[in-house]
Amino acid sequence: MDTPKFYNLPKLAYDYNALAPIISEDLLRLHHEKHHAAYVNGANAILQKMDKARTDNADFDTKAAFKELSFHIGGHLLHSLFWANLAPPGKGGGEKPSKTIAKVIDEEFGSFDRFKKLFSQTAVSAEGSGWAALTFCRKTNRPIIMQVEKHNTNVYPMFRILMVLDVWEHAYYLDYKNDRGKFVEAFWNIVNWTEVNKRLEDLLKS
Ligand SMILES: [Fe+2]
């Protein structure tokens, strides 16, 4: 198997200054190189600890390890999805949804504007650190909004994540101070709907 046994920090598909002024170069660099990297390293450290325990035939604190692993893997995977569902304004970012994603949003939420309002409310009202996500349920074929606490609480098992928005303070404080609402409003200018639609169409084909 060529698949790596550990997690890697993905490269961004755009330059660190490409999302400005919505997300400044300093903020994006810090968020990707420090915060996201910490989750990758955190998850890998636990995997290494578990590998060592296997080699040594030793026990480890499973409750603590799996709680921490869930947090770090959640952080890593959500950030990976987040970077890829963003694009520079005017270069794929901030257009309106089209094709399949536009249709399912209209059907479920009534209109794109109503969806935007509900998703924004979800992001703004996340307690403490968390995420807003648009997911898709294959049992009901509905797009469903999810409000994640931290990186791993309130997650619907098996629902594919189509789009996420990070509302941890580290995602906006440097540019927006405590004004999370302003950051959430600005987020719509960098959503990469082509990627969100691709995630949905890939799921529907699978
Ligand atoms: Fe983050």
| pTM higher than the cut 0.75 | yes
* CB 23, CB 190: distance < 8 Å: yes
175 C-alpha to ligand 1 centroid (Å): 14
112 C-alpha to ligand 1 centroid (Å): 26
Q: How far apart are CA 122 and CA 13, in angstroms?
A: 27
What φ, ψ does residue 19 adopt, rounded to 5°?
A: -95, 0
30 C-alpha to ligand 1 centroid (Å): 10
170 C-alpha to ligand 1 centroid (Å): 6
Residue-wise pLDDT for 47-90, tens only, equals 999 999 999 999 999 999 999 999 999 999 999 999 999 999 99
Q: How far apart are CA 70 and CA 67, in angstroms?
A: 5
The pLDDT of 118-135, averaged and rounded, is 98
The pLDDT of residue 134 is above 70: yes
Q: How far apart are CA 87 and CA 122, in angstroms?
A: 22
Residue-wise pLDDT for 150-171, tens only, equals 999 999 999 999 999 999 999 9
